[in-house]
Structure 1
């Protein structure tokens, strides 16, 4: 049985949506353009890439450069877990040269790719994913999304580990070359630069979290296993891997015990998830709140992936009392 990363209720069949053609969108708008046209090439001459959410948008834009026109299937400010697609966006998927997505992460995108038969790049096939069992503990898994583990889900948030994102970057360059062979030299050179930048960022995070006074963080939902597990940091989420699950009173009491036991002074909140419950818990326990961005969507257009990851590193260092490298 195929294992899904995080299976929500699937939207109405996109077969029916396709039949509607030019009807209005039922939730999200048309794909948002992420790169502007260049004076050297018309839009018609460029390879069209649709990225399902921000980290893949970042990679496609950086690697593709002027040879690609990259658009996002997740509009700004929208939680990618729950995105739905307009009929026009489904038509765009069918006509795109390449769709970059993560199978199981966004059910509407999965179904659109299947229905349209689009040329697709599944990031989950090109890196190592973590599994999370019902106990909430993470386990390193050297497989991909087609492996089934009873009582476990594959954690989709691989991009919070720059080393894993670098693996996907290298694979995406190869896929772009297959779609646009004339751009091979561009894609290879850009991918080498991106991989080098991500490798340096990974080393920076390793050094920044090497010596910390604390080892536990409290988060809104447990999205940070790839950022914490390799550094001996324990994440305690008000909810599990599902960002919209409401924590029970019993779970809040457990988190309060963790706060007391481990001397936690910060509750991390997210920009795309309501902070109400986290802020209430922090107020009750006399804690502060800070933002830890899971980077599922780009909140500030002036801050790219490396900038946000460095902000995350600084927030973790402050909360955990880490020594400067």
Structure 2
């Protein structure tokens, strides 16, 4: 029985509650059949046939993450629930091996899955003309051998895990991201994530904290017709400039007829809190702490959380509800 007809069957109607209604809503406007296109999920030419059912397992993982179930064994147990595996489209409950293999193979294509969801969000009116970039911590279990001790300069504390750099816009919508070894991302990571974000749609403004006060990043954005608004960081210079934002200096140097009022820059920069709200929304979807052993599963789980945030936003928007909410309205 498919999830499309499940609600109409009186024999199972009594099984439904709010949780299952939310699960079906997650998949009402979204199809993951494109996962079949990726060779990584294809059966091996020799040996045992892989019983991945990737679209169904993707729905299963999203259901579990939405309900705060992250570790593999609890995920397997949750997918044994009759209403859950039926609503996700399975013919029978998936095995633990299938769940584990899907998460392992998904790491190879999870960014492409994320991009597909961003492409669905982009033309639907969910994006705006202001982008923000920020990095956040991703906490790991002590048993994860690939994680490391990292420093969080915002909280002024050390933690064990990884990091994630996110560009967001609109109502807590992540549109580009990169899994990193720690919260403090390299400049090349910021450049790569920025290029990915500009490929989605071109904003007017790009906001970031002083960690993004680099010349190459600013010049790349200005060349693309985007105004970066980042507080000037004098670092160790002996002759600090009399500016509040780096863009003031770049425009004075390269833009003869362009002027930006200080009040406009201040007002625009105040919107940067949007990316912090996005980070919190994605953490509500499972990004806050990975329940994995190893970098491969950790990265897959981080992007699954990002995908879930997009699925919830798209679902609420297309149902006429608040896309900024982290729960499905039922």
Q: TM-score, normalised by structure 1?
A: 0.27
Higher helix share: 2
User: TM-score normalized by structure 2?
Assistant: 0.27
In our comparison, the structure showing a higher alpha carbon Rg is 2
Higher relative contact order (CA 8 A, sep 6+): 2
